[in-house]
Amino acid sequence: MYNYFKKFLLIPLLLLASNSIAQTIITGKVSDNNQALPGSSVYIKNSYLGTVTNGEGDFRIKIPEKYKAGKLRISSIGYQSQEINLAQSKSPLAIQLQKDTCNLSEVLVMPKDTLLALLRRAYGKIKDNYSDVDTRMKGFYRESYFVPESKEYLYFGEALLDVFKTPYKTQSEGQVKILESRMNKHPMYDSLSRVMWYGGIYRPLFGDKVKGRIGFISPSGFKKYSYSIAKSQLDGRSAYKIEFVPKESKQVEYKGVFYLDVESLAYMYFDCTYSEFGKDKRNKYLSRLGKLRSSLWSKSRRIKTKYLKRQGKYYLSYISDWEELYNERTSLNLVHFNEYVTTNISLENVEPIPFQEQTEYRDVFYLKAKDYSESDWKDETLIVPDTSLSKLMAYNPQEAGQLLNKTYSLPKGAQFKKKLIEILTRTYFDFDFERKTTSGIENAAIVYTPDSHHNFGKEFDPENKQTFSFGTKMGYKLNSFFDVNYYSKTSIGTHFSELESLGFAYETPLINRGRQLFLMCGVNYFFSQDGYHIGDFASESTFKAGGKKFRADKIALYVGKKKQGVSFDFGLRTKLRKFYSLFVSAGYQLDLSERDRLFIQEKSGFFLTRKKTDISLKDSSIQYFEDGVQTTKTSFDTDDFYLKAGIRFVL
């Protein structure tokens, strides 16, 4: 019994031991005669596991047990690829690549029509060359902001990502989940920069130029660019090197080069920079931020995107985005740099990321990230930090202040700004149009005598009509599913209709892949007032009604009802773009109370100062008739059912 018990106790220890040897971390440096080769691809052959070298040529990759006898493949643009037997290698590896003598570009003279036909074929083969099934990618993302002259960092943030991507035959969107995130920030960051960057974690989706069918590879965009072609080599494969520049007077954002595999015509690599128009457009955007005191100007931007062939298909491997900026307020040159590398790909039994776990595009991920000192990613495949970034990582948040001269004081509102950003990224705005039907009155007349100098009277014969209203809603997301909101609407056209409500809403995805489709449900407590337009009347002098003085030369009278109650909404919503979505909904109003009223509104004078009020039909100044019978109640009413369609905007 005692021996059995000892064996039982040893089981957890054996499991821990087996797990610790189940994977190995390999590090190394890729160079060319001692010159570092940044951005080199390092991956396990016949697998979906890989990484890239940093700016100093260093890399780190996790090797699972099943691949320990496999080969590590290293490739870099302009160099011959190399394979390393993992079983015969010892970390750290010193890998020297040889220049590819066949990589010298050979200019090809090709008629324009022939070149464009080649580019059309490449575009048409996207669905064949790239994944034709849903994929889940594991990736590493880093974002940094630093002073280039000294390589001193204002902040850096890192995230381990889980990315769901739909097949390349469609342009439908995917989803991103942050598995873990961490950051370190200079204490003076908020005084040096008043910008919080967002959207970077969606780089593997929106930065995928092939999936997004960016303009210069699309046949519809060919007329805006001039192309030239040369024969070259890339990753040990024959390639066409295509250079593209905007045609004169064409307003397009990029110029640069991309590589096509000669055999399959797959897009292998993109290297793009801003055109003059692109830089001007970027600076116009930053100048609008300047009104918020950001004071940034873009000097240049370079975006690289690389794809690797794995198991017969091409997959996104690496993206880097380097932008040089100038801060007018501090007179500092700055660099905002982010990069993403795919470290693993899954193709089997792929499911979308559960809705509640998805990260929004507008989320500023490092606001919720752990401090770097509290994280331990030593067993993860990531992009090795360069020397200057490692220096910042070694400091705690207090010591990091020594990296830059303390020239600037910490703004008093730094914490307030952080909280404000968190609130704004949870806020949304709806703009909608609503249709309702009015019914009730067949023959009516009214005489309104507010004083001895005024007498407004008219007979009218309403018909059943539809009314249209414009509404706005501001909502705050409590979490992925629930929100609270305030809604206000006003009528468009002749009749009078206003409503305000406070509500609680729930939404959940019906389709959780590609262009997501959401079911929306809501319950609201509302206050409304609706009136049928009796007519407009001239008023030659001031009179009082409902406690207000009316001085306008022209007034309008409406007969109708004030209500309050509970309404129920049901609808569908789908995303159009990153910040916009379209929705339709239907609802029902349950009236808890109603009062019959005469609404009085000024129709002349400055529109923002026009007065309006309402008084009871029981007031002694009113004589109201329906079908020839005097009454204090109106049969005018609006339908309890309504339909809406609108657009949602998120910040």
3-state DSSP assignment of residue 608: helix
Name the least confident of 95-99, 426-430, 641-645: 95-99
Hey, what's the torsion of the CAs at 344, 345, 348, 351, to 10 degrees? 100
Residues 405-419: pLDDT tens digits? Answer: 344 344 455 566 667
Distance, CA of 448 to chain centre? 55
Residues 186 and 209 in one domain: yes
SS3 annotation, 119-174: HHHHHHCHHHHECCCCEEEEEEEEEEEEECCCCEEEEEEEEEEEEEECCCCCCCCC
3-state DSSP assignment of residue 310: strand
Residues 389 and 437 in one domain: no
User: Residue 336: which of 195, 176, 205 has the closest Cα?
Assistant: 195
Last residue within a domain, chosen from 52, 70, 101 = 101
Q: Which two tokens stand for residue 412?
A: 């008093």
Which of 185-199, 274-288, 471-485 holds the top average pLDDT? 471-485
Q: What is the mean pLDDT of residues 469-474?
A: 95
**Number of structural domains found in the chain:** 3
Name the least confident of 11-25, 239-253, 511-525, 536-550: 11-25
Instruction: Answer whether 325's CB lies under 8 Å from 147's CB.
Output: no
Q: What is the per-residue pLDDT for 118?
A: 93
Residues 346 and 207 in one domain: yes
Under the banding of pLDDT at 50, 70 and 90, the label for residue 21 is very low
Q: What is the mean pLDDT of residues 214-221?
A: 93
Residues 116-169: pLDDT tens digits? Answer: 999 999 999 999 999 999 999 999 999 888 888 877 777 888 899 999 999 998
Under the banding of pLDDT at 50, 70 and 90, the label for residue 570 is very high
Q: Which residues touch 50 (CB under 8 Å, ≥6 apart)?
A: 41, 42, 43, 44, 61, 308, 317, 341, 342, 343, 381
- Measure Cα distances from 639 to 292, 466, 497 in Å: 45, 10, 13
Q: Is the dihedral of CA 147, 144, 383, 105 positive or negative?
A: negative
Does some domain include residue 376? yes
Give 466 or 214, the one with higher predicted confidence.
214
Residues 487 and 599 in one domain: yes
Q: What is the per-residue pLDDT for 418?
A: 66
Residues 96 and 112 in one domain: no
Residues 433 and 463 in one domain: yes
Instruction: Give me the phi and psi of 7, to 5 degrees please.
Output: -65, -35
Does some domain include residue 143? yes
3-state DSSP assignment of residue 178: strand
Domain that holds residue 283: 105-418
Residue 525: HSE in the Cβ half-sphere, 13 Å Cα cutoff: 4
Q: Give me the CATH number covering residue 472.
A: 2.40.160.20
- Measure Cα distances from 390 to 36, 51, 95, 153, 380 in Å: 17, 18, 22, 10, 16
Residues 75 and 166 in one domain: no
Q: Which residues touch 326 (CB under 8 Å, ≥6 apart)?
A: 296, 297, 299, 332, 333, 334
Residues 198 and 314 in one domain: yes
Q: What is the mean pLDDT of residues 51-63?
A: 88
Does some domain include residue 4? no
Residues 435-465: pLDDT tens digits? Answer: 888 877 778 899 999 998 889 988 877 665 7
Beta strands in 214-331 (DSSP E): 225-234, 237-246, 254-261, 267-274, 296-310, 313-327
Under the banding of pLDDT at 50, 70 and 90, the label for residue 188 is low
Q: What is the mean pLDDT of residues 563-580?
A: 91
Q: What is the per-residue pLDDT for 265?
A: 94
Last residue within a domain, chosen from 101, 130, 145 = 101
Is 70 exceeded by the pLDDT of residue 398? no
Residues 86 and 121 in one domain: no
3-state DSSP assignment of residue 643: strand
Cα(441)–Cα(51) distance, rounded to whole angstroms? 74
Last residue within a domain, chosen from 78, 101, 124 = 101
Residues 90 and 110 in one domain: no
Is 50 exceeded by the pLDDT of residue 401? no
Is 70 exceeded by the pLDDT of residue 23? no
User: Residue 565: which of 593, 586, 587 has the closest Cα?
Assistant: 593
Whether the model pTM is above 0.95: no
Q: What is the mean pLDDT of residues 9-19?
A: 40
Residues 529 and 611 in one domain: yes
Residues 575-615: pLDDT tens digits? Answer: 887 788 999 999 999 999 999 999 999 988 888 888 999 99
Q: What is the per-residue pLDDT for 406?
A: 40
Residues 214 and 349 in one domain: yes
Residues 319-358: pLDDT tens digits? Answer: 999 999 988 877 888 899 999 999 999 998 899 999 889 9
Residues 68-127: pLDDT tens digits? Answer: 888 888 888 888 888 888 888 888 888 888 887 665 566 666 777 889 999 999 999 999
Instruction: Answer whether 638's CB lies under 8 Å from 467's CB.
Output: yes
Does some domain include residue 466? yes
Does some domain include residue 7? no
Q: What is the per-residue pLDDT for 460?
A: 78
Is 50 exceeded by the pLDDT of residue 11? no
3-state DSSP assignment of residue 487: strand
Does some domain include residue 8? no
Distance, CA of 276 to chain centre? 26
| Averaged pLDDT of the chain | 84
Does some domain include residue 642? yes
Residues 476-530: pLDDT tens digits? Answer: 999 889 999 999 999 888 888 999 999 999 999 998 887 889 999 999 999 999 9
Cα(623)–Cα(600) distance, rounded to whole angstroms? 15
Q: Give me the CATH number covering residue 58.
A: 2.60.40.1120
Does some domain include residue 5? no
Q: What is the per-residue pLDDT for 15?
A: 40
